[in-house]
Amino acid sequence: MVDGNGAAEVANGAVGPLYDAAPIIEVQDLSISYDGKTALQDVTLDIYRHEIFGIIGPANSGKTSFLRALNRMEAFNLGMEVRGSVSINGKNINDWQNEYALRSRIGVVFPLPVGLPLTVYENVAFSPRLRGIRKRAQLDEVVERCLTRAALWDEVKGRLDSLGSLLSGGQQQRLTIARALSQEPELLLLDEFSIAIDPVTTMRIEDVLKELCGELTIVLVTNLVQQARRLADRTAFFLMGELVEIGATEDLFEGKVKDERTTGYIEGRFG
């Protein structure tokens, strides 16, 4: 899994000992545009294995576009154009001829929850089934574990056979998280995962995320600056398609910043 060519480049404010030396994601000069309109401009950064990497920034700053590019979602977004290179585990994602295999290793949660029109159980068993798991007992185990981690198990354990698309908004959001976890991903991309979830449940999920980063790497896009502070090891600040600053989360929140705009945003003076 760890490849040879990540020569421990400690750039972008990495704080060494916390992470494995080899970055899992290397982003080089990434630019994204929609129908010629630029959403993200020349972003270069590394994301390290087993860290939680936070991305903050006001609306329209390119955070979501960044996540989409990591999963090669330009394939199903008309007009989305990606330039530059993204490597995961040292391999350029465009070199995956089988893009489905790539996506199956990356769990994604977007702010609008999508409960597939299948039962709750089948929603979570979908990805394991794609991986070829057939045994009911094994599926049961995955479904329970993922729903528990997404803090949904207690609410739905009695009605696993009802439709996922008929759950409440917040429940569907957690169902989406459970589904992403059921992929047993190496990389988890979260975009505003808590937007429809109450604060108490959000805290429970955040605790799970902290545990999970022992197994995987998490990229967390959030509008809640405090959420980034609670969770992220390092945080990047995006503004109007530009990567303004990247650094250890503590440093950013304690005012050790290079750019005035970062402090301005974190302290709520604009955004």
Q: Which tokens belong to 41? A: 């401009």
Q: What 3-state class would DSSP assign to 28? A: strand
Q: Does 70 bind another protein (CB under 8 A)?
A: no
Of 153-161, 179-187, 235-243, 246-254: span binding another protein (CB under 8 A): 179-187
What does the CA dihedral 18, 203, 152, 68 come to, rounded to 10 degrees? Answer: -60
41, HSE (Cβ side, Cα atoms, 13 Å) = 10
Provide, rounded to whole angstroms, the least separation between the CB of residue 76 and another protein. 6
Q: Does 71 bind another protein (CB under 8 A)?
A: yes
Q: For another protein, which residue of 117, 169, 210, 255 counts as binding (CB under 8 A)?
A: 117
Nearer to another protein, 10 or 130 (CB): 130
Q: Does 76 bind another protein (CB under 8 A)?
A: yes
Q: For another protein, which residue of 15, 21, 80, 118 counts as binding (CB under 8 A)?
A: 118
Q: Which tokens belong to 229? A: 């502070």
Dist CA 31 CA 40 (whole Å): 5
Provide, rounded to whole angstroms, the least separation between the CB of residue 178 and another protein. 12
Number of residues that bind another protein (CB under 8 A): 30
Helix runs in 106-158, H state only: 120-130, 136-149, 153-156
Dist CA 105 CA 33 (whole Å): 25
Q: For another protein, which residue of 73, 209, 212, 225 counts as binding (CB under 8 A)?
A: 73
DSSP 8-state code for residue 53: E
Q: For another protein, which residue of 15, 80, 114, 203 counts as binding (CB under 8 A)?
A: 114
Minimal CA–CA distance to 244: which of 11, 33, 12, 16?
A: 12
Q: For another protein, which residue of 7, 59, 101, 137 counts as binding (CB under 8 A)?
A: 101
Nearer to another protein, 78 or 200 (CB): 78
Q: For another protein, which residue of 64, 87, 176, 262 counts as binding (CB under 8 A)?
A: 176
Dist CA 235 CA 251 (whole Å): 9
DSSP 8-state code for residue 12: T
Q: Which residues bind another protein (CB under 8 A)?
A: 71, 73, 75-76, 78, 100-108, 112, 114-118, 126-127, 130, 163, 165-166, 176, 179-180, 183
